[in-house]
Amino acid sequence: MNNFDDVACVLIGCWNFDGKHTFIPTSRGVLDKGLQIAIDKGAFPYLKGQLHFVDGSARIECEELESILDAAQEINVTKGPNPSYQRTEINVSVDLLHEYLRELGVTEEQAAQWGSTLRGAVEEVLATLDETEAA
């Protein structure tokens, strides 16, 4: 993967591989930290060392994620973020996402595993944020 369009297709395709996850979080650094956790757990191995995570003012930030999400929107894989900027809607069918993944050399097994790992990591991050905000 050497361009943001390809990375966007893989991330979105894996996130919604089962067709049940039509929104992806875009706020509070949730996806940034979730992506870092997922990569550390072995998902998206070709991105290890390609994405850069830094301590931001209040959270971990992936330096490339904004460009990846912009690319997803530009190639119409996702819509623009919703008005509250909490999430963005996936704009293409599951079949088309599967086709993108095949063209990029990602197997169904990899896509299912990576998507599950990423969604699980995002859920961990959200749970931590909810606990922090409730305190």
pLDDT digits (tens, 9 = 90+) for 11-46: 999 999 998 999 999 887 899 999 999 999 999 999
Q: For residue 39, which of 21, 52, 29 has the smallest C-alpha distance? A: 52
Contact 12, 97 (CB under 8 A): yes
Quickly state the pLDDT bin for 133 (edges 50, 70, 90): low
| Parallel, antiparallel or unpaired: strands 78-81 and 60-62 | unpaired
Quickly state the pLDDT bin for 83 (edges 50, 70, 90): low
- Tell me: pLDDT of 82 over 80: no
What dihedral do alpha carbons 123, 98, 53, 86 form, nearest 10°? -50
* pLDDT at residue 26, rounded to an integer: 86
Distance CA(48)–CA(45), nearest Å, equals 5
**Single-letter amino acid, residue 133:** E
**Terminal Cα-to-Cα distance of the chain (whole angstroms):** 41
Q: Name the percent of the chain lying above pLDDT 70.
A: 91
What is the CB neighbour count within 10 angstroms for residue 23? Answer: 15
Domain count, the chain: 1
Domain ranges, residue 34: 4-134
pLDDT mean over 70-78 = 94
Q: What is the DSSP letter of 82?
A: P
pTM over cut 0.85: yes
Quickly state the pLDDT bin for 86 (edges 50, 70, 90): confident
Structure tokens at 50: 């390609």
